[in-house]
Amino acid sequence: MLEIEVKARADHLQLKEQLSVMGAVFVGVQHHCDTYFNAPHRDFATTDEALRIRSVNGRSVMTYKGKKLDTLSKTREEFETEVDGGTTRSILLALGFYESGIVRKTREVYKYENMTICLDKVEGLGEFMEVEIGAESDIEGHRKQIFLFLEKFGIGEEDSIRTSYLEMVLEKQ
């Protein structure tokens, strides 16, 4: 499964009005506490991978993200499974993985056509918009579709941020 995703800084107040006018469907609010892990045998900061346990509204999900496959978006291979968060953390630590950082955010999720739109308010970083399409192939076609959509909000390719929240949080520290 590919996650074709574009992220940009965006003021939520204005975005929400526009999303409402165009008929985007509000899905819900999620409170994320994301713990990122690095590996004992290779440095994910170099290989551009990510291993995360997300605690969201009391449930936990483990996610692996492969290196980015595209220079214009955040497209990458992604695997995700629901887990017991505490036990999985213990397993990763026992295997020699270690915590590299924690990102806390509030995410408002909207659906529009085949896109998932996330309005993220990240602790210490500010407000962002992420637009995502899950697909098996055609990175370029889906990326174009996302950028066409973002144009409506005055967001262009030059605004796309490929730096992860984790990297931003670690840079600020």
Residues taking part in catalysis: 36
Q: Of 38, 64, 70, 135, which lies in the binding site for its own copies, with binding defined by CB under 8 A? A: 64
Nearest distance in Å: CB 88, its own copies: 5
Q: Of 11, 17, 43, 82, which lies in the binding site for its own copies, with binding defined by CB under 8 A? A: 82
Size of the site for its own copies (CB under 8 A): 23
What is d(CA 145, CA 148) in angstroms, rounded to the nearest whole number? 5
Nearest distance in Å: CB 39, its own copies: 7
What is d(CA 32, CA 104) in angstroms, rounded to the nearest whole number? 6
Nearest distance in Å: CB 84, its own copies: 4
Nearest distance in Å: CB 138, its own copies: 21
Q: Of 13, 21, 94, 148, which lies in the binding site for its own copies, with binding defined by CB under 8 A? A: 94
40 is a site residue for its own copies (CB under 8 A)? yes
* Segment interacting with its own copies (CB under 8 A) among 2-10, 22-30, 93-101, 106-114: 93-101
Task: Write the binding mask 41 to 60 for its own copies: x where contact by CB under 8 A, - elsewhere.
Answer: xx------x-x---------
Per DSSP, the residues of 68-106 read: E--SSS--EEEEEEEE-HHHHHHHHHHTT-EEEEEEEEE
Q: Of 24, 30, 38, 80, which lies in the binding site for its own copies, with binding defined by CB under 8 A? A: 80
Q: What is the number of other CB atoms lying within 10 angstroms of the CB of residue 125? A: 16
What is d(CA 65, CA 39) in angstroms, rounded to the nearest whole number? 13
Q: What is the number of other CB atoms lying within 10 angstroms of the CB of residue 103? A: 23
| Structure token digits, residue 149 | 């959509």
Burial zone of 3 (CB within 10 Å; 0-12 exposed, 13-18 middle, 19+ buried):
buried
Name the phi and psi angles at 155, rounded to 5. -105, 125
State the residues that interact with its own copies by CB under 8 A.
39-42, 49, 51, 62, 64, 66, 77, 79-84, 87-88, 90-91, 94-96
